[in-house]
Amino acid sequence: MQSKVFRNSITLSLIFFAMVAIIFPVELVLNTDSIFEDPAKERIKEESLVDNYKGQLILKIRHDDGESVTSNFDNMQALMVLEKELLEGANPDNSWDYSTIITKLETPFSAWSEAFESRNRSLENATKWSDVLSPTIEGGWCGNDSTVAENEAFQTTMLLLPKDSNFGIACPSFPGASELTPPNSDEVLWLIWLDSSDPTEPVTDWNTLNLWAEKVSENTEFDIEAVGINMLFQKSKNIAEDDLNSIIIPSAIFLIGVMYVIIRDWKVCAVTLGSVGLVITAEIGILSTLNVQISIIDAIAFPIILAVAVDGAFWYCKSSRSREEVRSLLLLAMVTTLAAVSLSMFSPIKAQNTLALMMIIGIFLDWLLTRFVLEDFYMSRRDGELISPVLEPISESNATQWFWPSCLAILAIVTVISPPGVEVFDINQFLSDDDPALDDFEELQEQYLIASSTITWVIIDVEGDSHSDYLKALDIQQQLGQHPSVISFETGIFETPLVMGIESGYESEINSTIDSVSRNSEGSPVLDDHRLQTGGETTSLVIGVFIDGSNADAALQFMDDVTKLVDSYETEHVIGGELVTGASLAQDFDETRIIQILTAGVCVLVIAYLVSKSPERALRIAIGTIAVGAAVDGFASIIGERGVSTAPAVLLGMGFAADYLSHASAGHVETRSDNFARWGAAITSVSIFALLTLAEFPPARQTGQLLTISILLSVILATSLSKVDVKLSYSFSEE
């Protein structure tokens, strides 16, 4: 009676959480925030006085006829009107009517307007460029006598116009430029910051910018396109969602077909598929209830859970093991698999944390459902009855005794010959190498300074009301600008580094503080207010530094040098940014990946010993698990690029190895039915991972490749282990 109540409780609980997932569906996200945690960005998010630190996107604007959009005054004014309509919604044809909201819009025209206003000239009320260019502004906006607004307009112009533009009044020091002419370019960039309309929800739907760009392109004389790194993430997310619909979901049907061909029982196939569908849906409901954000990368766990689920069906239905033996080996397989995979929970990479959590919950729920709900059904589907074994002596000199050490030696060779190195964690790992979007992005990087660079956040602890801290911050900013990795505006006469933080020019004023200067400043193109506050008091200053976005080694060197610089001031600090964080994660992973594999092996050893109470059995499982993990890590480098995105596949491969080796080391003399169960489960699992290799989304494709290799290596190694010290064989009666 108690057993029945427990079974019903499990089933009803899973159905309840599955209904939660169906009624309140979650949106799978993909952005840098879902991949890794940036400590600097987290501090800005929690302590910033403004809300435009996230969701920065880029719009590229051209005229339909190829006319200049800056020196042609009519075109420039039309874009100024469009800018106003976007923010105020006066014209429904060009307004923003989407679930996301615009928190900030940075355009060259708004910066130019403020620059002219600082000289008591109005760009909005002008009818031609000469109305604001006369009388002449000596030195333009980059001269020694330029105002603060003009300096900001100069920086904005350099960032948002192509590198080969004639910058005109923005900086006459450039060849061909003059303070008598406006900037001249046939295209410009706008920076737009989006946020969710619900402050408790993350920004996930960047596709709204594409929709707005398409709408306005149809309604105006301008061609507008959403571009930049975040739109590449949006495209990779769309590709992953297409894969989810076109490969992963139909692959479940294919897997059941393969399973039926092997197991020849459509009821077992249907129940197995249904149970996995229930487990996956319930898991989504559980994570949704716990407010755990799920990324599109986590969907890779779905076919993995599906592949693991067939294990119990084969061992219960087709092996020669008794009910108790199957229970024991499936328990050991489950806990050793979780021991290997759980190591990813401690990774600094958020994508690995959530993927590991998905697999851990899914594998455990599948074991729970198989053990306590489906066990009687699976046992009832056995084709034969277990009878007394027929003992047959086998020679100790049998050649099969050498399979186990030979397989270990081959795996060791693969590990040794694999190329070293780790790929930097960036957008290239989420799009195929031949994707035209990467070519377009490379062209954008060649044309625009802001696209070829990446921003690094340097946060230093300061007191907002301290004049000495204000001077210290200025000194640090100045020295940051002298670093060779920092992007600079070079005019041939002078060089201006792209370092944005607290404004200078107030050093001689004894009462100047970070708070007083910031209150009189409108911030910079990247942040409206560079202060961070706790309890209403300024505790830190954010300095934005633009560095080369294509040189990971230089980013790491910049990070090290900045650390030494700020340490010399005895000031607490945090350094972040997409490139430096991704590069440092790749470096850390390269330095610790072998330790990670060995640690996972030790975890498997301990768990296997605690469950099996056999040191010899636990040691063999651990040795085989480490061998498979090291070999899969080697194959990751051989067939593609080893990176932080391959680490979960390596650990999961170790989990599969622990699973299969647990079966093979159970002390039960192998039978033909046991081998059938082992290889039947392996072939069924391989079928779904082989389909995953057809995915267009690179992490899914590479995971499919590595897990296919993992299963094959694991089942071969497990078969070789089952031959070690075999003295007897069973025959199995099937009627």
For 436-494, the pLDDT digits (tens) are: 777 777 787 788 877 767 788 899 999 988 888 888 989 999 898 888 888 776 655 55
Lowest mean pLDDT segment, chosen from 363-372, 638-647, 675-684:
638-647
What pLDDT does residue 613 have?
A: 82
CA-nearest of 186, 154, 189, 159 to 172 is 154
The fraction of the chain above a pLDDT of 90, given in percent, is 14
CA-nearest of 476, 489, 501, 525 to 170 is 489
CA distance 580 to 276: 40
CB 645 within 8 A of CB 351: yes
CA distance 622 to 605: 5
pTM above 0.85, yes or no: no
Tokens 């060197």 belong to 557
What pLDDT does residue 284 have?
A: 87
What pLDDT does residue 495 have?
A: 65
What pLDDT does residue 508 have?
A: 60
What pLDDT does residue 452 have?
A: 67
Residue 386 has pLDDT above 50, yes or no: no
* Helices 249-263, 672-692: crossing angle, 10 deg rounding: 160
Residue 394 has pLDDT above 50, yes or no: no
What pLDDT does residue 459 have?
A: 92
What pLDDT does residue 270 have?
A: 85
| 3-class secondary-structure state, position 629 | helix
Residue 427 has pLDDT above 70, yes or no: no
**Beta-carbon contacts of residue 38 (< 8 Å; ≥ 6 apart):** 32, 457, 576, 577, 578, 581
More confident residue, 561 or 660: 561
Q: How confident is the model at residue 389 (pLDDT cuts 50, 70, 90)?
A: very low
More confident residue, 369 or 208: 369
pLDDT in tens, 31-72: 556 666 778 887 888 888 766 555 568 889 999 999 999 999
More confident residue, 289 or 430: 289
CA-nearest of 357, 454, 415 to 628 is 415
CB 458 within 8 A of CB 573: yes
Q: What stretches of 554-649 adopt beta strand conformation (E)?
A: 573-576
Q: How confident is the model at residue 187 (pLDDT cuts 50, 70, 90)?
A: very high
CA-nearest of 689, 650, 606, 678 to 329 is 678
Contacts of 4-13 spanning 24+ positions with Cβ under 8 A: 6/372, 7/372, 7/373, 10/368, 10/369, 10/372, 10/373, 11/369, 11/373, 13/282
DSSP string, 51-119: S-SS-EEEEEEEETT---SSSSHHHHHHHHHHHHHHHH--STTTS--SSEEEEEEE-HHHHHHHHHHTT
More confident residue, 656 or 111: 111
pLDDT in tens, 191-242: 888 776 665 555 556 778 888 999 999 999 999 998 877 777 777 777 777 7
Instruction: Please give the average per-residue pLDDT across 685-689, as a whole number.
Output: 81
pLDDT in tens, 626-640: 999 999 989 988 887
For the chain, the average pLDDT equals 80
